[in-house]
Amino acid sequence: MATFQRARSAEQRAERRRAILDTAVAMLAEMPAGRLTLNELSRRAGLAKSNVLRYFESREEILLELLDAAVAAWLNEVATGLDGDGAGTAERATRLSSALAASLAARPMLCDLISAQAAVLEHNVSLPVVLRHRHRLTHHVAALARLIRRHLPELAAPDADWLAGTIVMVTGSLWAHANPSGAVRAAYEADASIAALRIDFADRLQATLSVLIAGLLTRRG
């Protein structure tokens, strides 16, 4: 393990934090967030665990930082990928649900972090960390609501806000159910009577969003 040298300047501290976050991203390409440990992260980053903790108070804070960055990157992608000008309401609604589902399915790390957010990542963190994360999340949800209304202005602002927040919660729940434990996957293979419980994440998310959007559009009348 390399000898630790304390970062002296703000630039050096930011660089060290970035290196730790980059190491965590590489690990999440190999494993779900629940299996990422601070000990292994420290080893791969070439630092003692105590030195990693100079920059982040816990494993959970690191993962929350990655979640915030991943949501921001996803929103930028979705904002440039939606194109429904001139289409009718129903067609734009379909395009919206399809685009959101496809873009989330293409970002497994983001979906995994969302699924772990409330149950895992927001534990073992201090009040300042939670406040910072929740303020960022509020900003992201508001940005998603604006994107939804830009593509589907027929939705009232409160409905777009509700839909944006619900998309986050539905994504986390469906991702967890679409990626069960090895024991559950084996059970699906062993017993055809429960195989119907197996779901495809992208298909189920697209169908769920379609139903939610259709219901909100109907309610506006």
pLDDT in tens, 148-197: 999 999 999 999 999 999 999 999 999 999 999 999 999 999 999 998 89
CA–CA separation, 186 and 70 (whole Å): 31
**Residues 159/217, Cβ–Cβ less than 8 Å:** no
**Residues 34/114, Cβ–Cβ less than 8 Å:** no
pLDDT in tens, 49-65: 999 999 999 999 999 99
CA proximity to 170, closest of 196, 119, 213, 208: 208
Q: pLDDT band for position 1 (50/70/90)?
A: very low
Residue with tokens 């409160």: 158
Complete domains list, the chain, with CATH: 1-56 (1.10.10.60), 58-219 (1.10.357.10)
3-state secondary structure of 192: helix
pLDDT of residue 83: 63
What token pair was written down for 186? 């084996």
Which class for 125: exposed (0-12), middle (13-18), buried (19 or more C-beta within 10 A)?
buried
pLDDT of residue 84: 55
pLDDT of residue 2: 44
pLDDT in tens, 198-207: 999 999 999 9
Helices (H), the chain: 10-28, 38-45, 49-52, 59-81, 89-105, 108-116, 127-151, 157-178, 182-190, 201-219
What token pair was written down for 72? 């921001």
